[in-house]
Chain A
Amino acid sequence: MFTATKGKALLTTTTGALPRPSWYTENLRGAPLSTGFAHRSYREQHFDCLSCHVASQHRAGIDIMVDGDTRLDDDVAGRAWVSYVYERIAGVGAPRVQVQPSAAMRDRGPGDFIWEVIETRMTPHVERAIGETSLQLDRAWKAIAPMTDRPVKIGSASAQVLVHMIANSHYRDQIAFLDALSDAFNREYHALADAGAPIVQVEEPGIHQNIHVPNAPISPAQYVAAFNREVKGLRAKTEVWCHTCWGSPGAQKMYAADVSYEKALPWLDQLDADVLTFEAATNGGKDIPLIGKAIGKDKKIAIGVISHRTLQVERPEEVAAMIRLCLQSIEPERLILTSDCGFGRQSMSRMHAFYKMVSLVRGTNMVRRELGLPEAPIPATDANLSMVPLAR
């Protein structure tokens, strides 16, 4: 159900990960979040980091905040986006020195950025039936919720991502493994929704990334069924978002430069989600007309209008131009503006991420003004607070 975005047009947000302060040095290393919160130094670092994220998003004028994925460990190229999850699933063993099942090794070798990423990815096995999970997403949300009156979006790598990163030494086939993981994740998301989280974001379905893979063991229809199993019952309690992009370890695109969502769109439209997000800034919005045509009116669409793969901060005018392109195919009340993917995962500096958010909101305000919609205040642009004189 629509909650945070209900009845609102052109809201802004980002995907989830944010670069963290340099003093954020302690990692959970498999410990439950609740254990970390009981350790004074970790607790202080975590909560202070959340405060920094809230302050920066407030200064940028962002409507729907994220928690920066603050619970994740600071690992090479964002490994913790996956390892945080598999470290907290009963039935999954300790990681082994082994290449993961779906490593993007084709056409790559020593000397490639992604090869070094693969070298750092240890692979666990599912050794017995999936049991209890302790992601504590509800706790992650409760930590940030009191810090702002704006809605906060909490997301996690999905069962579909995990099934490609964990070796299957127990289930009869990948579908059985995926179903078990999907059920486990469903319980975690319900706990998050029951805690009061207005938005739950599932990152991401396997459809668009695997539809290009010859002889893929899981079909698009099976991915759809599994995703809908993973989010079953959630839309009665909260707003469900599904994030899609073309991969982001260290901000690297895992597919060809001209890869398209086109073939995946009919399947993505079948997902039981309120909002679908799409990477678009990286290729100038090439797929936007297709997305507008293919995704049903029952869903909202969040389009990436700022890129996580570039350090050059987009100009607000460029963001506004992308938004106008979106509006040719997507109604304002169904359109949300976001980043292509998260800004963490060993990529840009806090300053870059911050000014990309500012530019996102400035560009959105330009279009809001044209449409007669209320503009978001952006404290970062307040001329009275400039530390240097404006006129020369």
Chain B
Amino acid sequence: MISKDKKVAVGVISHRTLQVERPEDVAALIRRCLKVIEPERLILTSDCGFGRKSMSRMHAFYKMVSMVRGTYIVRRKMGLEEVPIPATDPALSMVPLAR
């Protein structure tokens, strides 16, 4: 219904839940978008803002990280550019990765 002269930004992470979405779930939602919206018209965003006395900074931050990680899962499949996500850098983990 939205004409081709417009881009479409679809909320793939919710401002109404505290449970941080998994990147895989975000990617699945993006793939659904791509069935009807061309990649060059598609922007990924949150359903709404995270302020307005709702969740903590930590929740909002990791929802953003998950959104970008999920987007990168799809970008990778499509051969599109990925930019490093500093929050996921294993070299900066404060605990050992392996047990």
Contact = CB atoms under 8 A, between A and B. Distances in A.
Interface of A: 76-77, 99, 103, 105, 109-113, 115-116, 118-119, 250-253, 308-312, 346-349, 351-352
A351 B53 CA distance: 9
Interface string B55-77: 11011001001100100000000
B58 A250 contact: yes
A109 B56 contact: no
A308 B17 CA distance: 9
Contact of A109 (B19, B20, B53, B97): B97
B68 to A, nearest CB: 9
Which of under 10, 10 to 19, 20 to 34, or 35 or more describes the interface residues of B? Answer: 20 to 34
Contact of A347 (B18, B62, B89, B99): B18
Which of B69, B88, B92 has most A Cβ within 10 Å?
A: B88
Helix, strand, loop or mixed for chain B's interface? loop
18 contacts: A76-B58, A105-B99, A109-B93, A110-B88, A110-B92, A111-B62, A111-B65, A113-B20, A113-B58, A116-B58, A116-B62, A119-B95, A250-B56, A250-B58, A309-B19, A311-B55, A347-B18, A351-B53
Interface string B1-34: 0000000000000011111100000000000000
Given A76-B58, A251-B59, A253-B19, 18 more contacts: A103-B99, A109-B88, A109-B93, A111-B69, A112-B62, A113-B20, A113-B59, A116-B62, A119-B95, A250-B56, A309-B18, A310-B19, A311-B16, A312-B16, A312-B17, A346-B58, A347-B55, A351-B53
Helix, strand, loop or mixed for chain A's interface? loop
Interface of B: 15-20, 53-56, 58-59, 62, 65-66, 69, 85, 87-90, 92-97, 99
A113 B85 CA distance: 14
